[in-house]
Amino acid sequence: MKIRTFQNGTLEGCVQAVRPMAMDAMKDRFESSGTHAPGFGAKPLTEEEEAEKRERNHKRAVRRAKQSARWLVKQISADRLLTLTYRENMQDRERLYDDFKRFVRLLRKELKGRPWPYVAVPELQDRGAFHIHLAVKGWQPYSVIRRCWYQALGGRGDEKGVETPGQVDVTSPRAKQGMGGAGRQWDSSRLSGYIVKYMEKTFDDLTDSEKKRYWHSADAKKPTVHRVWLGAVDVTEACPEAIGVLQTFYGLVGAQFDMWLSPDGTTFWVAGKNTVQIDVEHDGEEPPF
């Protein structure tokens, strides 16, 4: 079992059976290195096989990027979601990245050394334009952020109305019954699941799958990972053992857990925090990790 601990106080465990490397994974490794494994033959791949290989690689890239971005959002304890937009129909990804880097430099100068951890996810909209979703932590100087974004786009920073070159929108979580919109903030676990939903569409719409699909500040570090061997003979049997490990050795006695078991019974995922329900949204058979 892999156990990840986050600075927001949550833990995630992922249990998978230990078994020999699957043949198709071994085949992919040899193919990607330009060599051929004994027994696999030396003939080149057909067009259909090449297409299948690209699709497998694409799915792995999507999964890895979504995992990493989600973990970083939790790690910085993000509880605010901003969206940086353009007034024009801006479709140049390289310009998007340059504008965002300029915005971060301007904002850090304004903040005068104050830490500003973030995780940014670009989204390609249906109309073909880009904008950026930004997960951040704590109270934000929105007037300063807007001024820096306008300046990054070539404006003065004090534009109003239709003169603004873009906008900074704030997205609040859905209100619970009896709660208004003012002052609501995200639980970082929910926010992490929400923001990565924007990534898959961008992956599908951009042909160059090697480009990074998210950006983050240097102080957004990966969570700590521990590995624990379980004595169960299969994943289903390992479920109560995994929860017992989190309760006994990680202090989650009395905690509430979110759990997910893959339909084929090969993967078990669990997240918990003392006395707090971790609400991670996921759809159908898609794992939440």
pLDDT at residue 109, rounded to an integer: 95
pLDDT at residue 96, rounded to an integer: 94
pLDDT tens-place string over residues 134-158: 999 999 999 999 999 999 999 999 9
Please check the confidence at residue 181 and state whether its pLDDT lies above 70: no
Please check the confidence at residue 278 and state whether its pLDDT lies above 70: no
pLDDT tens-place string over residues 239-271: 999 988 888 888 887 778 888 888 888 899 998
Please check the confidence at residue 176 and state whether its pLDDT lies above 60: no
Please check the confidence at residue 178 and state whether its pLDDT lies above 50: no
Q: State the total domains in the chain.
A: 1
Q: Which range among 32-36, 175-179, 242-246 has the greatest average pLDDT?
A: 242-246
- Give a yes or no: residue 168 inside a domain: yes
- Distance, in Å, from the CA atom of 119 to the CA atom of 73, rounded to the nearest integer, reads 6
- Give a yes or no: residue 161 inside a domain: yes
pLDDT at residue 268, rounded to an integer: 92
Q: What percent of the chain has pLDDT over 90?
A: 37
The one-letter amino acid code at 233 reads V
Please check the confidence at residue 225 and state whether its pLDDT lies above 80: yes
Please check the confidence at residue 207 and state whether its pLDDT lies above 70: no
- Give a yes or no: residue 69 inside a domain: no
pTM of the full structure: 0.76
Please check the confidence at residue 48 and state whether its pLDDT lies above 70: yes
- Give a yes or no: residue 228 inside a domain: no
- Choose between 122 and 64: higher pLDDT: 122
pLDDT band at 32 (very low <50, low <70, confident <90, very high): low
pLDDT at residue 13, rounded to an integer: 92
- Give a yes or no: residue 27 inside a domain: no
pLDDT at residue 202, rounded to an integer: 66
- Give a yes or no: residue 113 inside a domain: yes
- Choose between 251 and 102: higher pLDDT: 102
- Give a yes or no: residue 199 inside a domain: no
- What CATH number should be reported for the domain holding residue 86? 3.30.70.260
Domain that holds residue 108: 79-185
| Average pLDDT, integer, range 271-278 | 60
- Give a yes or no: residue 141 inside a domain: yes
Helices 142-152 and 93-111, packing angle to 10 deg: 140
pLDDT tens-place string over residues 60-72: 878 888 889 999 9
pLDDT tens-place string over residues 195-206: 888 776 666 555
